[in-house]
Structures are given as C-alpha cells and as structure tokens.
A and B are shown apart, each in its own frame.
Chain A
Amino acid sequence: GAVVSQHPSRVICKSGTSVKIECRSLDFQATTMFWYRQFPKQSLMLMATSNEGSKATYEQGVEKDKFLINHASLTLSTLTVTSAHPEDSSFYICSARVRGLNTEAFFGQGTRLTVV
C-alpha cells in the first residue's frame, strides 16, 4: 500500500518558538494533502487541505497565520506551528490522496507536539 511518512514523530519545543512538521508520500504522488489535529481520546479534526502548488484551504476556526502549510511538491507538505503555546500541544496527523485515485487517503504516523 501507499506509504506516508511524517517527521518528526515527537517534538518538544519551548513556548514562543516555531515547529515544522513534514509529511511525505514515499511511493506515490499526492495531489492533495490534509492536516488534522487530534486531542487525547477525541476524533480527528481537519485543519486544512492543501493542493500542490496552491494555497491551503483552512477550516473554519483554524488560524492560517499560526498554522502555515506549504505543499511545494507532489510528495511533500509541511505544517509549521508558529509561536507555539502550550495549548497547541496535540497530535498532528497528515494524510495524502493518491494522484489519479478519487477517494482513498493514506495517513502518516502522526507527530506528538508538546509545547513547554
């Protein structure tokens, strides 16, 4: 099956700093990538949808200036949490939809962000 690699798997940063999370499709081209946030024992909440070469579309309530998304190529999307605060601590997960397929999306292994 298609593999989506997310890096890092865990990161601890100081309040006020920025953190970048990478999402790579290893063996396929991804025209669309999605970024989710998941709090403990809760469901996945979609933050934004990014299409290669264009600006990301953010869900209502998600601060685009705080969560910067770049989808520079068909295999790489990045999420940068700027000026992180403890309330940004969460599990961030990306998924990628295979180019040419209409439906199935593959998920990365997630990144546990802890802001201290």
Chain B
Amino acid sequence: QQQVKQSPQSLIVQKGGISIINCAYENTAFDYFPWYQQFPGKGPALLIAIRPDVSEKKEGRFTISFNKSAKQFSLHIMDSQPGDSATYFCAASMRGSNYKLTFGKGTLLTVNP
C-alpha cells in the first residue's frame, strides 16, 4: 500500500515558469512533510519541509502548500531554472516511527532553457 502518492511522474517546464508537483497521503498520523531534490548519482537533499499546523511555507523560490483536510501538499518552484532539473521526492513521517520517511515515487523535472 503506497502511503504517499506523487504526481506527475515527469514534468517539463520552460525557464522562468512555475513547476508544480503534488502529493497526497493517507495516514493522518503523519506530522512532517519534507521535499527532497535528487540529482543523478547523488543522495537526496532536503529542499523545504512543513508541519500540518501551517498551510504554506516559502523559502526563496520554493513554496509548500499544505491542505490538511484534503491530505494533500504540493511543491511550487517559481521562476524555474535549468539548474532545477532533477528528481523531486515528497515524503512524510511521524514521531512514533523514529520519523522514518515514506517517499513518493518521484517527479522528474526538466526545465528547458
């Protein structure tokens, strides 16, 4: 049973555009929702994370929108750049499980120049 569903599987955006990646979760016990960026052959790097007590968090060009009632959260990348081309993973975790991460399947983002 996949606990975190991520879409789309791949995304192509023009430079300067907005990239939007969506995730939905099932387990209401999740209380931490990070987004990771992974380049080929590298480990994931934390981009931004949110807790369910806020609806939005912004860090630079990256924004997480969180809808607790719908059990959905999304990543918005403003002014997308070719250097943003990577695979993005959403994840969820909860206190009671050592905060082990459950990952979405990933989104391959390509930003065309």
Contacts and interface: CB of A to CB of B under 8 A. Distances in A.
Contact of A43 (B34, B42, B95, B103): B103
User: Which size class do A's interface residues fall under?
Assistant: 20 to 34
A32 B106 CA distance: 24
A51 B100 CA distance: 12
Given A43-B89, A103-B32, A110 B41 contact: yes
11 contacts: A32-B98, A34-B101, A43-B89, A102-B95, A102-B99, A104-B49, A105-B99, A105-B101, A106-B46, A107-B46, A112-B41
Interface string A74-116: 0000000000000000010101010000111111111010000
Interface residues of B, number: 23
Nearest to A101: B99
Nearest to A45: B103
Interface in A34-69: 34, 41-44, 46, 49, 51
A30 to B, nearest CB: 12
Contacts of B99: 32, 97, 102-103, 105
A46 B101 contact: yes
